Structure formats: structure tokens, C-alpha cells
Structure 1
């Protein structure tokens, strides 16, 4: 006997657990990138970086903070499944 599919209030199906984890990662990555842009810019300017070196430093900080925050958000969404 097949299990019924859960249906939302307007006929749409609920996202799967993997979709929720993926969405949590993407949201966390976006927030982490924004925070990394702010903190990375300030810290790189404070130590005197300019030009190409500044862009590389800010980009590296954005990717690191985006990946870290995205991972934690994905774990949080996975726990909620």
C-alpha cells in the first residue's frame, strides 16, 4: 500500500529533506558572503591592502565565511527534518 504524499494548502507538495538542507545551505552561504564582504573589506583595508591584493583578500574572506555559515545552516535544517 503506497503512502500518501503530503500536500500543502494550495495543492503543492512539501519540499524533501534534501531540498530543505540545500536551501538552508544556500541561505547561509548568501548571509555568510554578505558578512564576509563587510568584515573582509574592513580587515583588509585596516592592514593596508590595496588593488588586486584587496580584492583577493576580500574574496577569500567571503568564500570562507559563506561556506562556514552555509554549512552550519545546512546542518540546522537537516536536524529539523
Structure 2
């Protein structure tokens, strides 16, 4: 299958590359949001030290994965 070439000689990304990029962008945004909300919620319930780091890390991974999944689905719909 020939690769589509843009007006300035660049090649277009495949649908899989777009979905992958959507997941990575969503994961990064979700990690940032998870860091903020996770820190506040863990401090509010009284976590300190290693327990705090584990709680914040878990929240960051969960929100990053969730938001990344939805962003990749959105990019897949746009293909």
C-alpha cells in the first residue's frame, strides 16, 4: 500500500500511529491530573512518607490509563 504524502513532502501517520499518539497524550494529561488530585486526596486522609508516594503513584497510573484509553478511542474514531 503506498504511503500518502502531504503537501510539503511529509508522510501521513497511519491510523495505529494516531491511536498510539492519542493514548500517549492522554496518559500524560491523566498522569498530571492524577498527581494533583492524588496528592490532595492522600494528604487529606492523612497519608505520609512511603504510603503517600504509593497512593499518589497508584492514582496517577489509574487516571493516566483511563484518560489515555478514552483519548485513544477518540483518535481511533477520527481515523
Deviating above 4 A after TM superposition, structure 1's stretches of 4 or more consecutive aligned residues are none
Distance in 2, matches of 1:41 and 1:15, equals 37
1:38 and 2:36 are equivalent in the alignment: yes
- Where do residues 42-81 of structure 1 align in structure 2 (5 Å cutoff)? 42-81=40-79
Q: CA deviation at 1:69?
A: 0.1
Distance 2:2 2:43 in 1: 57
TM-score (ref. length: structure 2): 0.96
Give TM-score, length-normalised by structure 1: 0.94
1:15 Cα deviation (Å)?
0.1
**SS at 2:69's partner residue?**
helix
Segments of structure 1 that go 5 or more residues without pairing to the other structure are: none
Distance in 2, matches of 1:28 and 1:66, equals 7
CA–CA distance in 2 between the matches of 1:60 and 1:80?
30
CA RMSD of superposed structures (Å): 1.0
Q: How far off its partner does 1:5 sit?
A: 3.3
